[in-house]
Structure 1
Amino acid sequence: MKVLIVGSGVAGICLTHELLRAGCDVELIDNGKNASSVVAAGIINPLVFRRMTLSWRVSELIPFALKTYREIEHRTGTSFFHPLAIRRLFASEQELEFWKKKQALPEFSDYMETLTEEDLNFPLEQNTFGTGRVKRASYIDTDAFIQANRIHFHTAGILSEENFNQEELDPESAIYKGNNYDYIVFAEGKDAKYNPLFGYLPLQQTKGELLTIQSANMYAAESLNRKCFLLPLGNQQFKVGSTYAWDTDDTIPTEEGKQAIMENLKSISNERYEIVEHKAGVRPTVPDRRPLLGKHPEFPKMVIANGLGTKGYMLAPLLMHELVNHLLKGTEIDPESHINRFESLMHS
């Protein structure tokens, strides 16, 4: 089977590995302008803190992500996957009570440490309601991940850095630039909004900004979270983020975004720091917070793999595996992810 993939963010990369593992002939096109998968912090967190709920399908997603990223590390000869201790500084008494109620439930016990006196009295000035520790979290060094995979695919001769030209596509027969494919999969991130085949889908462009800071005294033993995240990178450096600005595809960092992150960081630490880098990217999000996967309703050789949003690094390995099984074996896509939930929008 011959497949063309458009886009080499985390979705396109995981999809390429899955197809290669299945013995497919794969070509990958990317315009080199990806600004979401690189800018993302790459944190894989099983919890949604505000109401202390579990992330969607977390019991399947996390083990599969761990296995997949270890395999890709081996295949590319690079280290980018790191276990992570996350400590949540509770923002209210209600959050503390949510944690207390849920830590003993069987479905939560794999992801929450039982609260101790040390957690409640964690020695940070900003700790007013106690803290809780998350289990089975991790993070991807996104720069290393993207760079290693691009080099790997370049070396294999399957990655071309160019823009995809819609005028040279015949969607019915899946012919592009005179070449025949069994499927063409669009994993374009935010740019799917401009794809004439899939533009009817309610993909949102959600801008996020991220700081890299340096501080000699900032707490670095765990990743701290309250209003923002503080992710220790080593060598006294940290990533801090993130912001949300809806309906924009501009990837220019703003003073407003920087000030918002700096203000939120005060809820974690008052230590002095210097800003080393300030980046912005645009996430592909969906109003119902579920991905966009599946074949085009009228051109079934055209496929979309998009809408992974803020949890892309946790979602991509398993969901791309399921998409490949759908294309090669006809297995069903999770109905919450399938684009047929929006089919009525196509003709509206």
Structure 2
Amino acid sequence: MKVLVVGGGVAGICLSHELLKQGCEVRLLDNNRNASSAVAAGLINPLVFRRMTLSWRISELLPFAYQTYREIEQLTGTSFLHPLVIRRLFASQQELEFWQKKQLLPEFEPYMEQLTDADLTFPIEQNTFGTGRVKQAAYIDTTPFLEGNRTYFASKEILLEETFDHAFLDPQTGVYKGEAYDFILFAEGKDGKYNPLFSHLPLQQTKGELLTIQSDTIYGEESLNRKCFLLPLGNGRFKVGSTYVWDTDNTEPTEEGAQTIAENLRSITSESYEILEHRAGVRPTVPDRRPLIGKHPEFSKMVFANGLGTKGYMIAPLIAHELVNHLLHGDPLNPECDMVRFEKE
């Protein structure tokens, strides 16, 4: 089986590894202009704080992601998966009470530490209603992840550094630039919106901005969260984010974005800091917040793998596994991910 993967972000990387693992001949085409995976903080958080609920399919996604990333670390000789404690600063008495109730439920126990007096009296000035600690969280250090995989695929002569050109594609036969493929998988992130084969799908472009800051006085033993996330990177450096601007593919950072992040950060700390870097990216999102995967309704060799949204690093490994099993073995897709839910009749 010969497969071309278009797009070298987290989705394309996970798809390429899964295809190789299952014995396929793979080519990964990437233009090295990543607009989401390279900018993302790479946080893996099993909870949704706003309603104090579990992330979608967390009991399946989380162990599969950890297993996959450890395997990729071994293959590429890089280190990018880092365990993390996320401490939520409760924003209200109601949020505290939600945590107190849900920490006793069997399905929440693997992801919530039982509240202690130390959590409730955590010594930070913005702690008004107490804090709670998330278990099994982590983050992917995105730079070594992306660079390590590019180096690995290049060493295997798998990587093609160029932009895909639909003028050279025959979608019926799966021939691209004279090469015949059993499948062509489009994992193009925000640029999937411009793919003429899949323009009927409701892929959205959601901009987010991120700061990297330096401070010798901000607490850096855990990741703090309220209105924004404060992710410690070591040596007094932190990533802080993020913002949400809908329906734009502009990847330029803005002063307004920086001000929004700074204002949100004040809900966590009033300590001083220096801004080292300000970046912006565009996430591929979907109205129902579920991935868009599956075969084109007319051209069965053309496949879409997109819409991983804000939790792409947590979602990508299992979704890639399920899509490859669908293509190679005919396994059914999860109906919440199958893009047929949006196909026109």
Structure-2-length-normalised TM-score: 0.99
Deviations 1:121-174 (A, max 9, x none): 111110111100000000000011001000111111111111100011111111
Partner residue in 1 for 2:20: 20
Distance 1:95 1:175 in 2: 54
Q: Distance in 1 between matches of 2:251 and 2:328?
A: 36
Distance 2:179 2:272 in 1: 57
Report the alpha carbon displacement of residue 103 of structure 1 after superposing the two structures with TM: 0.3
Q: Kindly provide the CA deviation profile for residues 297-325 of structure 1, in whole angstroms up to 9, marking residues without a partner as x.
A: 11111001100000000000011001110
Aligned twin of 2:343: 343
Cα distance in 2 between the residues matched to 1:314 and 1:283: 14
* Counterpart-to-counterpart distance in 1, 2:165 and 2:225: 42
For 1:136 and 1:32, locate their aligned partners in 2 and report how far apart those are by CA, in whole Å.
31
SS in 2 for 1:107: coil
Residue deviations 1:247-280, cap 9 Å, x none?
1001000000000000000000011100000000
- 5 Å-filtered alignment, 1:1-348, equals 1-344=1-344
| Residues in 1 aligned to 2:98 and 2:193: alpha-carbon distance in whole angstroms | 38
Aligned length: 345
User: Residues of 2 paired with 1:15 and 1:279: CA distance?
Assistant: 26
Which SS does the other structure have where 2:157 is aligned?
coil
- Aligned residue for 2:91, secondary structure, equals coil
Distance 2:342 2:207 in 1: 23
Letter in 2 for 1:108: F
Q: Secondary structure at the match of 1:109?
A: coil
What's the RMSD between the two structures over aligned residues? Answer: 0.6
Task: Measure how far apart 1:336 and its partner are.
Answer: 0.0
Q: What does the per-residue CA deviation read over 1:50-91, in whole Å, with 9 as the maximum and x for residues that have no partner?
A: 110000000000000000000000000000000000000001
Partners of 2:35 and 2:342 in 1: how far apart?
A: 26
Identity of aligned residues (%): 72
Opposite residue 67 of structure 1, the aligned amino acid is Q
Aligned amino acid, residue 338 of structure 1? D
Give the residue type in structure 1 aligned to 2:49: F
Q: What amino acid maps onto 1:171 in structure 2? A: P
Runs (4+) of structure 1 exceeding 4 A deviation are: none
SS in structure 2 of the partner of residue 199 of structure 1: coil
Q: Which amino acid aligns with 2:148?
A: A
The runs of 5 or more residues in structure 2 that have no matched partner are: none
Matched letter for residue 281 of structure 2: G
Q: What is the CA–CA distance in structure 2 between the aligned matches of 1:32 and 1:139, rounded to whole Å?
A: 22
Give, in angstroms, the shift of residue 93 of structure 1.
Answer: 1.0
Alpha-carbon distance in structure 2 between the residues aligned to 1:304 and 1:95: 38
- Counterpart residue identity of residue 144, structure 2: A
- Alignment deviations for residues 175-223 of structure 1 (CA, whole Å, 9 cap, x no partner): 1011100000000000000000001110000000000000001000100
Provide, for residues 4-29 of structure 1, a one-character-per-residue CA deviation record: whole Å limited to 9, x for no partner.
00000000000000000111000011
Tell me which amino acid in the other structure corresponds to 1:186. Answer: F
1:84-125 Cα distance to aligned partner (Å, 9 max, x none): 000000011111111111000000000000111111111111
